[in-house]
Chain A
Amino acid sequence: MTKWIRWPGLAAFIVITALLVAGFMFLSGPFIAKAIEVAGTRMVGAKVDVAGARPGLFPLGLSLSGIRVTDPDAPMTNAVEMESIRMRMDTKALMLRKIEVTEMRVEGIRLGTPRRVSGALPERKPVEKEERPASGAMDRIPVPSMEIPDVKTILDRASLGSLEEAEKLKKALSEEYESFDERLRNLPDMDDLAAYRARIDNLKRGSGLSGVLTGARELQQIRDDVQKDILALRNTRQEMEESLADLRRRMASLGSMAAEDVNQLVEKYGISDEGLGNITGILLGPEWEGRLRKGLALYRRAEPLLERIREREKKPEPEKALRSEGVDILFAEIPERPDFLIRSAGLSLEIPAGNLKGTLRNATNRQPLVGSPMEIRFRGDSLSDLESVDLELVFNRVNPKAPSDHMKAGVSGWHPDTMGSGDLALNAERADLTLDILSRGRDLQGKIALDLDGVRFEMPDSGDRVRAAVASGLKDVKRISVEGRLGGTLERPEIRLSSSLDAVVRGAVTRAAREATETLRARLHEEVHAMTDKKIRELENQLGGMADLRAVLDERLNMAGRLDI
């Protein structure tokens, strides 16, 4: 037997194997780092950098350092930066070509750090950014108008119905006057009637039978003519009466039209307390909406990683025989394992206030195989400007048909930045926040509770009465409890905020707003009615002209009546 055994060969084999292992250990790091960079870059859509990678054999694992993941929407910023990742892997799983991390430690996680060089991919087209709500509250939702424009300015801009009607009346009166004047000129005047009188008197002086007979015929003729003229005069007078009555009715309505004009102007330029009542939404709404949208955008980007990306075929048919490469035939895995699983990881997140310690459990793209949801927890105590932070995220895809993700967060003793901006800003000494957001499928449900203590408002004095009322109402507010309701969908989230502040502001503002509005009403009434009255007086003058025409008509009718035929 020994004649077939070459003992030095065993030593040579050990040396060769050791050299191979050592070569792998010392030389494979850059290749592993490069492979992670390439795969990560493809997945994220922006550059992923890995400064170093070092594999380990006993125990089997991998250490990575200087991991920087570029934010695809902001290439000069890292979405996440990690100082180091150390992981221990399951050997059996790795032999089955699965990555199962049994234990992991991630140190120095930082979010939103600046990059020295752009992490944009050369082939990536610049993303056309959506119109996003501005971060400052006042940029998007101004505090509802607290100022009333000058009455003269209002009236210059306004188009008053009463004055327009007065102009129409003036024109109508002129036309009517000219029309009746024309008709009067065509109707028998005093000379014509005097001529009738002269002719009658001549006939009465006639003598003889023939004279009497001729006179009777002519008298009959005059009587007919006079009757006809009287009828024409009477008809004209009747029409003139009707026209005058109509014009008077329209003139009389000018007063009520002026009142209507005043109401409309007050409605348009007066102060509504409805908008001012939702002061919480004005102060916090846009900022919180911005944060919510940013959070949901991150969530939507990470969401595909929670689900299996590709379905492996059990037995792929080769398209053609690939020389020297062949085809890997896949068989059923028993038990089936996820391609990627981190069973447990310790995390260390660095935020401006300090360090948060966290854990990650069951991170995989195939939760149904693991049977447990992915959980992330962070906790930090005694931080600067913060008493404590608690964050719990549960991504439940155990049943892929009913995905349900849950976020609970609590921040205590936090010193918030100034909220709002411009003409109304809020500062608080301390804030306590709790968030509870649930996402089922695409639907969102959530509650937000924010308690602010040591509240102080800043509102520059502009001399406006309503502003002063708001400032006065807010002066005594030292504590605010804000409640938020989250609804809608992941794509169209809706946030409604309300607080004890709303009632305070509404009460203060309503009274001042009403007073200011009543002052506006009185001044508008005065101005509009002054203008309308002036027009009415002009119209009445014009009507006087019509009355003169009527008097002329009456005189003619009287004279015609006195003809005594």
Chain B
Amino acid sequence: MDAVLNFHVYGRIPVRSDSLLFTRLKGKDAMIKPLASFLKILNSEASPGQISLALCFSMVAGFTPFFGLLTLCLLFLVLVLKVNLSAFFLGWGLFTALAFLLDPLFHGAGFWLLSHPGIEGFWTSLYNMPVLRLIRFNNTVFMGSFVISLLLFIPLFFMLQFLIKKYRSQFMGWIQKTRIAQIIKGTKIFMAYKSLG
């Protein structure tokens, strides 16, 4: 299994793994690490569908703000479904970082939805469902991020699948010959990844 670079423990705070490998990460290596991981995933044997679905799930997990029932459900799905776990955990970290920038947008969208008079009855009925109260659907950031990530889920899935296929057929060979790819390949990190792989 690929090494996990980032994972969520609580809310939006990414916590770095404490393995020997990552304790060596410093400065430039730390910046290159996600890129190297991403390239490794793209260049792996995993199918584009598995990678795309993992990234879509990670988008939902990364955008939504709480570690709760929804996160557990997503974990269940990514563990049970044959999606690329490395892509999921890498994506989770990236989308979490992105969510910090998008939170105002999520809040605005969530507030608009939750306070819309036409669907107040619907929200009220959901509000009285214990399970839904548990995921805090009535939180503006949660609602905004969840709805936006759901809306983006299918388009993102197909778009990522298309891009991965395109990358593998047309760009993978060229990229591997580029100077940056050589640098990445030359780093201790990449060597370590390779040895793990």
Give the secondary structure class of B's interface. Answer: helix
Q: List 30 A-B contacts (CB under 8 A).
A: A3-B82, A4-B81, A5-B80, A9-B80, A9-B82, A13-B76, A16-B75, A17-B72, A91-B130, A95-B130, A95-B133, A97-B133, A318-B111, A323-B104, A323-B107, A324-B65, A324-B99, A325-B65, A326-B65, A326-B103, A326-B140, A326-B141, A326-B144, A327-B140, A328-B138, A329-B140, A330-B127, A331-B120, A332-B124, A333-B127
In the complex, chain A residues whose CB is within 8 Å of the CB of B25: none
Question: In the bound complex, what is the Cα–Cα distance between A92 and B129 (angstroms)?
Answer: 9
Question: In the bound complex, what is the Cα–Cα distance between A323 and B11 (angstroms)?
Answer: 12
In the complex, chain B residues whose CB is within 8 Å of the CB of A332: 124, 127
Is A321 a contact of B104 with CB atoms below 8 Å? yes
Kindly provide the distance from the CB of A316 to the nearest chain B CB, expressed in whole angstroms. Answer: 10
Is A127 on the interface with B (CB-CB < 8 A)?
A: no
Which 5 residue pairs spanning A and B have beta carbons closest together? A326-B141, A9-B79, A95-B130, A331-B127, A326-B140
Is A322 on the interface with B (CB-CB < 8 A)?
A: yes
Is B80 a contact of A6 with CB atoms below 8 Å? yes
Is B82 a contact of A4 with CB atoms below 8 Å? yes
Interface string of A313-355 (1 = CB under 8 A from B): 0010010011111111111111000000000000000000000
* Nearest neighbor of B114 in chain A, beta-carbon distance: A329
Is A96 a contact of B138 with CB atoms below 8 Å? no
12 additional A-B pairs beyond A4-B82, A334-B124, beta carbons within 8 Å, are A3-B82, A5-B82, A6-B79, A10-B79, A321-B104, A326-B142, A327-B107, A328-B139, A330-B127, A332-B124, A332-B127, A333-B127
Is B108 a contact of A321 with CB atoms below 8 Å? yes
Kindly provide the distance from the CB of A323 to the nearest chain B CB, expressed in whole angstroms. Answer: 5
Interface string of B51-91 (1 = CB under 8 A from A): 00000000000000100000010011011111000000000
Q: Which of B125-176 contact A (CB under 8 A)?
A: 127-128, 130-131, 133-134, 136, 138-142, 144
Q: Which of A216-245 contact B (CB under 8 A)?
A: none
Is A6 a contact of B82 with CB atoms below 8 Å? yes
Q: Which of B110-130 contact A (CB under 8 A)?
A: 110-111, 114-115, 120, 123-124, 127-128, 130
Question: In the bound complex, what is the Cα–Cα distance between A5 and B76 (angstroms)?
Answer: 11
Question: In the bound complex, what is the Cα–Cα distance between A333 and B138 (angstroms)?
Answer: 13
In the complex, chain B residues whose CB is within 8 Å of the CB of A95: 130-131, 133-134
Kindly provide the distance from the CB of A315 to the nearest chain B CB, expressed in whole angstroms. Answer: 6
* Nearest neighbor of B125 in chain A, beta-carbon distance: A334
Is B111 a contact of A327 with CB atoms below 8 Å? yes
In the complex, chain A residues whose CB is within 8 Å of the CB of B110: 326
Kindly provide the distance from the CB of A433 to the nearest chain B CB, expressed in whole angstroms. Answer: 49
Is B133 a contact of A329 with CB atoms below 8 Å? no
Kindly provide the distance from the CB of B109 to the nearest chain A CB, expressed in whole angstroms. Answer: 11
Contacts A321-B104, A321-B107; A329 near B138 (Cβ below 8 A): yes
Is A12 on the interface with B (CB-CB < 8 A)?
A: yes
Interface string of A1-40 (1 = CB under 8 A from B): 0011111011011001100100000000000000000000
Total B residues in contact with A, Cβ cutoff 8 Å: 38
* Nearest neighbor of A92 in chain B, beta-carbon distance: B130
* Nearest neighbor of B101 in chain A, beta-carbon distance: A323
Give the secondary structure class of A's interface. Answer: loop
Is A5 a contact of B140 with CB atoms below 8 Å? no
In the complex, chain B residues whose CB is within 8 Å of the CB of A12: 79
* Nearest neighbor of B76 in chain A, beta-carbon distance: A13
Question: In the bound complex, what is the Cα–Cα distance between A17 and B82 (angstroms)?
Answer: 19
Question: In the bound complex, what is the Cα–Cα distance between A16 and B76 (angstroms)?
Answer: 10
Question: In the bound complex, what is the Cα–Cα distance between A10 and B79 (angstroms)?
Answer: 6
Max chain B CB contacts within 10 Å: which of A3, A9, A92? A9
In the complex, chain B residues whose CB is within 8 Å of the CB of A318: 107, 111, 140
Kindly provide the distance from the CB of B142 to the nearest chain A CB, expressed in whole angstroms. Answer: 7
In the complex, chain B residues whose CB is within 8 Å of the CB of A324: 11-12, 65, 99-100, 103, 141
In the complex, chain A residues whose CB is within 8 Å of the CB of B75: 13, 16
* Nearest neighbor of A95 in chain B, beta-carbon distance: B130
Is A330 a contact of B138 with CB atoms below 8 Å? yes
In the complex, chain A residues whose CB is within 8 Å of the CB of B114: 329
Is A13 a contact of B107 with CB atoms below 8 Å? no
In the complex, chain A residues whose CB is within 8 Å of the CB of B81: 4-6, 9
In the complex, chain B residues whose CB is within 8 Å of the CB of A97: 133
Question: In the bound complex, what is the Cα–Cα distance between A12 and B78 (angstroms)?
Answer: 11
Kindly provide the distance from the CB of B65 to the nearest chain A CB, expressed in whole angstroms. Answer: 6
In the complex, chain B residues whose CB is within 8 Å of the CB of A315: 115
Question: In the bound complex, what is the Cα–Cα distance between A95 and B134 (angstroms)?
Answer: 6
Is B111 a contact of A331 with CB atoms below 8 Å? no
In the complex, chain B residues whose CB is within 8 Å of the CB of A7: 80
Q: Which of A74-122 contact B (CB under 8 A)?
A: 91-92, 95-97
Contacts A315-B115, A331-B123; A96 near B133 (Cβ below 8 A): yes
Name the contact of B111 in the complex, choosing from A9, A20, A92, A329 (C-beta under 8 A).
Answer: A329
Kindly provide the distance from the CB of B184 to the nearest chain A CB, expressed in whole angstroms. Answer: 29
Question: In the bound complex, what is the Cα–Cα distance between A552 and B90 (angstroms)?
Answer: 142
Max chain B CB contacts within 10 Å: which of A4, A7, A330? A4
Question: In the bound complex, what is the Cα–Cα distance between A93 and B96 (angstroms)?
Answer: 31
Kindly provide the distance from the CB of B111 to the nearest chain A CB, expressed in whole angstroms. Answer: 7
Question: In the bound complex, what is the Cα–Cα distance between A6 and B114 (angstroms)?
Answer: 37
Kindly provide the distance from the CB of A326 to the nearest chain B CB, expressed in whole angstroms. Answer: 3
In the complex, chain A residues whose CB is within 8 Å of the CB of B138: 328-331
Is B80 a contact of A10 with CB atoms below 8 Å? yes
Is B79 a contact of A13 with CB atoms below 8 Å? yes
* Nearest neighbor of A15 in chain B, beta-carbon distance: B79
In the complex, chain A residues whose CB is within 8 Å of the CB of B104: 321, 323
Is A331 a contact of B124 with CB atoms below 8 Å? yes
In the complex, chain A residues whose CB is within 8 Å of the CB of B106: 326
Contacts A95-B130, A96-B133, A333-B128; A327 near B139 (Cβ below 8 A): yes
Kindly provide the distance from the CB of A166 to the nearest chain B CB, expressed in whole angstroms. Answer: 97
In the complex, chain A residues whose CB is within 8 Å of the CB of B80: 5-7, 9-10, 13
Contacts A95-B131, A332-B124; A325 near B82 (Cβ below 8 A): no
Is A334 a contact of B79 with CB atoms below 8 Å? no
Kindly provide the distance from the CB of B133 to the nearest chain A CB, expressed in whole angstroms. Answer: 5
Question: In the bound complex, what is the Cα–Cα distance between A138 and B55 (angstroms)?
Answer: 85
* Nearest neighbor of A10 in chain B, beta-carbon distance: B80
Kindly provide the distance from the CB of B148 to the nearest chain A CB, expressed in whole angstroms. Answer: 13
Kindly provide the distance from the CB of A365 to the nearest chain B CB, expressed in whole angstroms. Answer: 20
Kindly provide the distance from the CB of B93 to the nearest chain A CB, expressed in whole angstroms. Answer: 15
In the complex, chain B residues whose CB is within 8 Å of the CB of A10: 79-80
Question: In the bound complex, what is the Cα–Cα distance between A332 and B75 (angstroms)?
Answer: 32
Max chain B CB contacts within 10 Å: which of A3, A92, A328? A328
Kindly provide the distance from the CB of B71 to the nearest chain A CB, expressed in whole angstroms. Answer: 10
In the complex, chain A residues whose CB is within 8 Å of the CB of B111: 318, 327, 329
Question: In the bound complex, what is the Cα–Cα distance between A95 and B128 (angstroms)?
Answer: 10
In the complex, chain B residues whose CB is within 8 Å of the CB of A334: 124, 128
